[in-house]
Amino acid sequence: MDSFSVPEVVVLRLPLYVRALSQLRDGGTDVVSSQQLGSLLQMTPAQIRKDLSYFGRFGKQGRGYNVRFLLHELREILGLDREWRACLIGVGRLGHAIINYPGFSPEGFKIVAAFDGDSDQVGTSIGGFKVRPMEDLAEVVNEMKISIGIVAVPASQAQEVIEKLIENKVKGILNYAPVAPQVPMNTVIRNIDPVLSLQSMTFYLR
Amino acid sequence: MDSFSVPEVVVLRLPLYVRALSQLRDGGTDVVSSQQLGSLLQMTPAQIRKDLSYFGRFGKQGRGYNVRFLLHELREILGLDREWRACLIGVGRLGHAIINYPGFSPEGFKIVAAFDGDSDQVGTSIGGFKVRPMEDLAEVVNEMKISIGIVAVPASQAQEVIEKLIENKVKGILNYAPVAPQVPMNTVIRNIDPVLSLQSMTFYLR
DNA sequence: ATAACTTTGTGAATGTAATCACTACTTAAA
DNA sequence: TTTAAGTAGTGATTACATTCACAAAGTTAT
Ligand SMILES: NC(=O)c1ccc[n+]([C@@H]2O[C@H](COP(=O)([O-])OP(=O)(O)OC[C@H]3O[C@@H](n4cnc5c(N)ncnc54)[C@H](O)[C@@H]3O)[C@@H](O)[C@H]2O)c1
Ligand SMILES: NC(=O)c1ccc[n+]([C@@H]2O[C@H](COP(=O)([O-])OP(=O)(O)OC[C@H]3O[C@@H](n4cnc5c(N)ncnc54)[C@H](O)[C@@H]3O)[C@@H](O)[C@H]2O)c1
pLDDT digits 0-9 by tens, B95-136: 999 999 999 999 999 999 999 999 999 999 998 999 999 999
Residues of B in contact with A104 (CB under 8 A): 194-195, 198
Closest CA to A198 of B11, B181, B114: B11
The answer to whether residue B1 scores a pLDDT higher than 80 is no
Residue B122 zone, left/alpha/beta (φ > 0; ψ -120 to 50; rest): beta
CA distance B177 to chain A (A): 10
The tens digit of pLDDT for each residue in B165-204 reads 999 999 999 999 999 999 999 999 999 999 999 999 999 9
> How far does the CA of A61 sit from the C1' of D23, in Å?
12
Question: Distance (Å, rounded) from C-alpha A45 to C-alpha B114?
Answer: 39
The CATH T-level fold of domain A3-78 is Arc Repressor Mutant, subunit A (1.10.10)
Question: Distance (Å, rounded) from C-alpha A190 to C-alpha A46?
Answer: 28
What pLDDT, on the 0 to 100 scale, is given for residue B4? Answer: 87
> How far does the CA of A51 sit from the C1' of C6, in Å?
21
CA distance A168 to chain B (A): 15
Site residues for ligand 2, CB cut-off 6 Å: A 101, 103; B 89-95, 116-118, 121, 134, 152-155, 157, 160-161, 176-178, 192-194
The CATH T-level fold of domain B84-197 is Rossmann fold (3.40.50)
Cβ neighbours, 10 Å, residue B185: 5
The tens digit of pLDDT for each residue in A8-53 reads 999 999 999 999 999 999 999 999 999 999 999 999 999 999 999 9
CA A194 to ligand 1 center in whole angstroms: 15
Closest CA to B99 of B83, B115, B88, B84: B88
Contact B172, A205 (CB under 8 A): yes
Strand C contact with A199 (CB < 7 A): no
Residues of A in contact with B90 (CB under 8 A): none
Question: Distance (Å, rounded) from C-alpha B153 to C-alpha A105?
Answer: 19
> How far does the CA of B28 sit from the C1' of D1, in Å?
34
Atom 4 (ligand 1) nearest CA: A176
CATH code 3.40.50.720 region(s) in chain A: 84-197
Atom 27 (ligand 2) nearest CA: B153
User: How many interface pairs between A and B have CB atoms less than 8 angstroms apart?
Assistant: 159
- Phi first, then psi, for residue B186 (nearest 5°) are -85, 5
Alpha-carbon dihedral B132, B133, B136, B142, rounded to 10 degrees: 50
CATH code 1.10.10.10 region(s) in chain B: 3-78
Atom 29 (ligand 1) nearest CA: A117
Radius of gyration of chain B (CA): 20
